[in-house]
Every structure is written in C-alpha cells, then in structure tokens.
Structure 1
C-alpha cells in the first residue's frame, strides 16, 4: 500500500465487519481466534459492535472511508461481557466452532469453556476500567502510526462512556514489539496473569485524566 496522506478513525458499522475480520486474520496469523475461522470472528466482532457497552472503531483512508485498514474493539464493562456474549448467541458460536473443534478438540474446548467464565482479567482496584480487547492494523498499512491513532480514539471513547482507566493484556514472551508499543503510549505494567496451557500475559493500565 502506498503511504497514506491522512487517516480517519470512525465508529465501526455492520458493513465493516467482514473487513475487520480480514484485517484480524492478516494481523494475527496462527493465533487461536484466527484458527477459529471467519464465521467465529464475525460473531465476535459483531458482538462488540452491537453490545451497549462495546467500543468498536475502524481506521480508514480519508479518500476511501469505506476501506478498513485497522480496528480496535473493547468494552467499558468487561466483567461478564464475554460470557454474556456466548450465552446470548450460544447456538451461533457453537455452530461456528464445530469445524475448529473437530480439528483441535482439546484446545478449542478449553478455550471456549474458559470464555464462559472469563471476566476480562479485570483489576479489582479499578472497577471503572474499560478493556481494550483487540487492536489490529493491516500489515501493508503498518508504520504510519495507525495503531497509535486507534488507541488514542479508544481512550477518548472510553472516557466519554465513563471509564476512569483502560487496561489490556498481551503476551509476555516473544512479544517485544507489542509490549514496547503500549508502554510508549503511556500504559504501565500492572502485573501478569496466566491463561490455559500456561500462557503468561502482561496486563497494562493507563489512567484517564478527569
């Protein structure tokens, strides 16, 4: 992709979901959610878009406002968000999980079961913290500070919605670029958490100005 002169960040629309899924697949090759397939990802990102506590933003070239080259999603009430999403749309998620379950039954079952009780790795001392759940930029559009713009817009939307802080988790190991990215933006390391199969995540927090 040629260097973009200007980018706009706008709220995502239903018509953007297919492109958001494709950006996710390109940005996260080999990751668990990518292995779950496009149908599962469409349900997940539609969930963020349609939930009243969800924040769903996309980055587009000013000249092509319908072309999605990056996205960020999250929720202002992470406690119970994912379990509620699965329970409300359990049949659709079950159908979307059938083929991945057949290919990798142990991994998929453990991940989906834990999602039913997942509370967003929230911080007890930050009850009004929003969760930045996923951030992705098209590989061909990287290097233009699109990720930074998306995060800044997410922080602003979270604050408008009443959040006093924003937190996120990212892999601790073999993930220097992402860890540096968030610390450079002002996020502070607020501990670690352990996920199924021994995966260690760093938890980052940034407080929002009153």
Structure 2
C-alpha cells in the first residue's frame, strides 16, 4: 500500500533522480542536477512550500512539490536562498544566457496578471513518478494526498498548469480528478498553457 508523507532533506537526491527520469526533456531538467537540488531544497525549507513523497515500503517512488499560496511564490522562493540562486545565475550568465533569460521569465512569470486571478490558492508546482512505477496509480495517489494535506492546512483550492496543446492524456487525468479550466495563458517562449483549478471544500 502506498503512503504519502513529507520528504526529508536527506532524500533530495532521490527527488532529483525521479525528476530527471520523469521529465528528461524539460527545461528545468536541462539546467542540471545542482539547480534541481537547490530548487527542491528551497521548496522543502520554505514556510509555504510543500514537498511530499509517495512511498512503497519506505522506498521513495514519486514526489510532488507545491505551495500553499501561489501568488509571488517563485519570487519568495528565490529570496529565501538568494545566494544559491545567484550563483546559478552567474554561472548561466557566462555559459548560457538564453537559458538564464528563460529561467528568469519562467520563475518570475505573472500569468496571475489575469484580472480574475489573485493567486490566492495552493499550487502544484511539479509532480513526478519513477519510471518503473508509472502507470500504477502513483500520480493519483500523490495528488489525492496533496489535496488532503492542503485541506488540513486550511487551503480551499488547488491549482496547476499544464500544456494546452497535444496534452489530452494529462488534461483528461486532471479533469477526472475534478480539475477544471480556469484560463489559458502564454509563457516564454510562446508556449500556451492551461491553468486548472479545483475546489477542496
């Protein structure tokens, strides 16, 4: 029986490994394991951050990262470990300025500029399942566990973003879990996204 609980700092390397196997071609993956470890460590340590794992006999097989308050969370996250993120930024400045620009625009994204969106909801930032456990209900177990966790902390809504085009399987999964389109928006570099949202009350 799967168990969902908080991830510990000592398990961050496993989280990064699962992320890499789940999202091999994603932009954040291409930034390298050091960036991913800094990012997920910052989420874990932030007061509004959530990092949950799904365990099979105490073996970490999947994870989800989230925040209790979506509004300005990435800005707050960077400020919480400014030195580490600045070191990554300086490195990219000399090695990959295009990646640095994309990272800045994505982490500082403000799709909540939509007048109907105040960002006053919890947000799923990332969810990943180890390659050998995909298709076995781990993602559903994680999402259900996250919803319960957020409800117990007083959260009333959970949002997430996913690709608008050629993404019927993921959209269908989220719709089956009760998520409905909130609005769509464009993120850098011209990638159309859905913001989905679900009431937890």
TM-score, normalised via structure 1 length: 0.87
How far is the alpha carbon of 1:182 from its aligned partner? 0.6
How far is the alpha carbon of 1:44 from its aligned partner? 0.9
The answer on 1:96 being equivalent to 2:72 is: no
The answer on 1:206 being equivalent to 2:198 is: yes
Q: Residues 81-131 of structure 1: CA distance to partner in whole angstroms, max 9, x if unpaired?
A: 11122123222113234555555321322322452x335748745654100
How far is the alpha carbon of 1:58 from its aligned partner? 0.2
Q: Residues 48-84 of structure 1: CA distance to partner in whole angstroms, max 9, x if unpaired?
A: 111111121001112xx1x221001111112121112
CA contact (8 A) 1:83 1:118 kept: no
Q: How many residues align?
A: 200
SS at match of 1:152: helix
CA distance in 1, matches of 2:124, 2:37: 18
What pairs up with 1:1-210 in 2 under 5 angstroms? 6-62=1-57, 65=58, 67-98=59-90, 100-115=92-107, 117-119=108-110, 121=112, 124=116, 128-209=120-201
CA RMSD across the alignment: 2.0
CA contact (8 A) 2:92 2:99 kept: no
Deviating 4+ runs (over 6 angstroms): none
Map of 1:3 onto structure 2:
none
CA distance in 1, matches of 2:186, 2:26: 17
CA distance in 1, matches of 2:130, 2:33: 16
Q: Gaps spanning 5+ residues in structure 1: where?
A: 1-5
Q: Gaps spanning 5+ residues in structure 2: where?
A: none
Q: Residues 20-47 of structure 1: CA distance to partner in whole angstroms, max 9, x if unpaired?
A: 0110011001111101111111111111
TM-score, normalised via structure 2 length: 0.90
